[in-house]
Chains A and B, each alone.
Chain A
Amino acid sequence: MDPLRTLWETFFDWESMREALPEMLTVGLPNTLILAVTAALLGSALGIVLAVAGISRTRWLRWPARVWTDVFRGLPAAATILLIGVGLAPLGMQVWGPNPYPLGILALSLIASAYIGEIFRSGIQSVEATQLEAARALGFTWGEAMRRVIIPQGIRRILPAWVNQLIALIKDSSLVYFLGLLASQRELFRIGQDYAANTGNQSALLLAGLFYLALTVPLTHVVNWIDRRLRHGRPATGDDPDDLDLALPGAAGGNQR
């Protein structure tokens, strides 16, 4: 048989793709999004805590934050997911039964928190010290000054980096398949891989890849767009909300579904 044709059919067998498509749409895509978005929210909440601890004057907050960041940023994602997902499984079994999801999300959140914490920290530190001084001079406590004045400004500056982290999470969520998922829990990659393993044809996996691209490529363009807008400023609209009115942990700017 023509080797080129074989190669083509290995990746672009429409029939295999069509077969896998419904499950990808109804099972894989929602699961991938649940994993990535939940981990992004949890990771951002933890990340803010880490960032604030990381710039604290107390070394008892600073050092643990440092170690946490180094560990979860330094370990391969696969190792963290296995260590947490398998290592804590007996504990998880007692709390929520034989469901690998919570531990998978926890592991992804821990990884994300390390990166997001560093992003937030740099954002907070990029806000001029005089802003803190001005807020304190008005009578705001340190915490309120951070919350109302410093963090809202820092967040804006790190939005592009934060969206990049979301992209990384979407991709890393595929690693949760290590933990052994029920059929209904499979995310995009696992479904593609299952079809590929059953048929010996890679087309379903390629389809999964296309799904990932459909999620991540638009996000990279969102990053670029935000970046441009931050660089060139935006026209004053008068009535836009002044601070994002952040509840302290979480909600880092419009990522709610």
Chain B
Amino acid sequence: MSESVSLSLRDVHLAFGHHRVLRGVDLDVAQGATACVIGPSGSGKSTLLRTVNRLLEPDRGDVLLDGRSVLGDDPDALRQRIGMVFQQFNLFPHMSVLRNITLALRRIRKLGEDEAAALAREHLDRVGLAAKADARPAHLSGGQQQRVAIARALAMQPQVMLFDEATSALDPELVKGVLALMADLSSQGMTMVVVTHEMGFAREVADTVAFMDAGVVLEAGEPAAIFESAQHPRLRRFLSQVL
């Protein structure tokens, strides 16, 4: 696996028309650390995640990997270094599970068919789905689809992984398996930014928890500090609702 890198967001602003979604966000994730971003719906969490791999371009501010700004980089090359997992899995439904993973390996990484397939099977094995290589995504459960999506992102050997409410669309009994996989990845030293409503996961796995509301990070710190001794009244109110 490629070495993971540190990630920093500096004063990131983004507006859709007059709607200011991000209003100066700062976030630091050390190399190999996991940051969980929590907060109410519409607070800008998912938008923030998309500024990291520049699916959305910030209006102002900076995004740094390993201390170096990436805003001048080629966005396509940047995205190859950053894996992303979505709420709705977003597997390509017209391809087998294996092809979902090999597509980018072959077309972007320019690996040969066999090499790509071998690498894909290795990652499918890692998420426990080696037997499903030839199945279509539609024939998999939501949890299995999300694990394939994680394998698809990991196969590109990213230096950072982004998770956008990866378990929010899953049936409750399938959430655990995906969270376990993410915790596993975190413990192996992947730099991760995880937008989640799973407070248990944030408490157990995160090195840093950032609470977002109305486009800014109101409070950030170690999980214990956030969950046991929250300072900001808005965060306390939020926690009292969700815990």
Chain A positions within 8 Å of B, measured between CB atoms, are 130-131, 133-141, 144, 148-149, 152-153, 156, 233, 236, 238-239, 242-243
With A134-B86, A239-B134, A242-B95 in contact, do A140 and B53 touch (Cβ < 8 Å)? Answer: no
Q: Is the CB of B19 closer than 8 A to any CB of chain A?
A: no
Q: Is B92 a contact partner of A131 (Cβ separation < 8 A)?
A: yes
Question: Are A137 and B55 neighbours in the complex by a CB distance under 8 Å?
Answer: yes
Known A-B contacts A236-B136, A242-B94; the reply to A133 vs B86 at CB < 8 A is yes
Which 4 pairs show the lowest CB-CB distances between chains A and B? A134-B90, A139-B80, A242-B95, A238-B134
> For residue B95, which residues in chain A have a CB less than 8 angstroms away from its CB?
242-243
Chain B, residue nearest A144 (CB): B107
A35 CA to B8 CA in the complex, in Å? Answer: 61
Q: What is the minimal beta-carbon distance from A193 to any residue of chain B, in angstroms?
A: 45
Chain B residues engaging chain A, CB cutoff 8 angstroms = 53, 55, 76-77, 79-80, 82-84, 86, 88, 90-96, 99, 103-104, 107-108, 134-136, 138-139, 152-153, 156
Residues from chain A with Cβ under 8 Å of B99 in the complex:
242-243
B88 contacts which chain A residues (CB < 8 A)?
130
Is the Cβ of B135 less than 8 Å from the Cβ of A236?
yes
Residue of A nearest to B162 (CB): A137
CB–CB B79/A136 < 8 A: yes
User: Contacts A138-B104, A144-B107, A238-B134 hold; do A243 and B94 have CB atoms under 8 A apart?
Assistant: yes
| Complex Cα spacing A167 to B190, Å | 56
**Chain A residues closer than 8 Å to B90, beta-carbon distance:** 130-131, 133-134
Partner pick for A137 among B84, B91, B94, B96, CB 8 A cutoff:
B84
A139 touches B94 (CB 8 A): no
Q: Which residues of B contact A140 (CB under 8 A)?
A: 76, 104, 107-108
Complex contacts, B136 vs chain A, CB 8 Å: 236
Instruction: Evaluate contact between B93 and A153: CB separation under 8 angstroms.
Output: yes
